[in-house]
Amino acid sequence: MSRKLQYSGTNAHDKDGQAMAIRFTSILLWLFVINLGVAFGAGLYEARVVVPGWAGMSPQTWPNTGLMFWVYVTTAPLTLLTLANAVAAWRDATPRRHAWRAAVAIAVLERLVTFGYFIPRMVSLMSEPSAGPEVNAALAQWMWLNHGRHLLTLSAWIAALRALSRSHARPG
């Protein structure tokens, strides 16, 4: 039998443990929702305001937003929250589990794409000595593909919000 958040304990200690587990998973889901929202908004801001200004500039003059901002918002926190929410969503037996698992699956895909393409490609671009046609073309491609990453983040955020909205529904 799998360990789901179903409790049949009858003593006060079991009920306290159940309440603590429910609060912990609710906090995890809330943090996941908040972090996805911040990541989505900040990603749109960067895509519309910051990165377009880099075209034609030497890549070595680009601000390293990865180390200045993203590492503190998504690289570490969103990745860890995604993993923690994967465990919590897998164990959850409430009606929110389907939306929660969908949010986690989409976030995992977004994290894989980020670590597999976006971070390495930006690091590579930023190491270029000057902004030639190849760098500008690669930056344009990065920016275009980034729209897909925004859609993944938005989709994960919406699914997590849906899970959150079903948090008070009874198991079933």
For 89-146, write each residue's pLDDT tens digit: 999 999 999 999 999 999 999 999 999 999 999 999 999 988 899 999 999 999 999 9
Res. 35: pLDDT tops 80: yes
Mean pLDDT of all residues in 44-58: 93
**Which of 98, 89, 99, 100 lies closest to 5, judged by CA?**
89
Residue 111 within a domain: yes
Query: 27 near 80, Cβ under 8 Å?
Result: no
Buried b (16+ CB within 10 A) or exposed e, 69-99: ebeeebbebbbebbebbbebbeebebbbbeb
Res. 2: pLDDT tops 50: no
Provide the whole-model pTM.
0.85
Residue 138 within a domain: yes
Res. 16: pLDDT tops 90: no
- Distance (Å, whole) CA 146 – CA 144: 5
**Long-range contacts (CB closer than 8 Å, 24 or more residues apart) made by 134-141:** 135/59, 136/55, 136/56, 139/51, 139/54, 139/55, 140/55
Residue 5 within a domain: no
- Longest CA–CA span in the chain (Å) reads 70
Total domains, the chain: 1
pLDDT at 80: 97
Residue 33 within a domain: yes
**pLDDT band of 170, cuts 50, 70, 90:** low
Instruction: HSE, CB side, 13 Å, CA atoms: give it for residue 90.
Output: 9
Residue 90 within a domain: yes
pLDDT at 168: 65
Q: Which domain holds residue 78?
A: 12-165
Mean pLDDT for all residues in the chain? 89
Residue 1 within a domain: no
pLDDT at 172: 46
pLDDT at 23: 85
The predicted-structure confidence for 70-88, as pLDDT tens digits, reads as follows 999 999 999 999 999 999 9
**Which of 31, 70, 6 lies closest to 163, judged by CA?**
31
pLDDT at 17: 62
Residue 2 within a domain: no
For residue 126, give the H/E element and its range: helix 119-126
Residue 4 within a domain: no
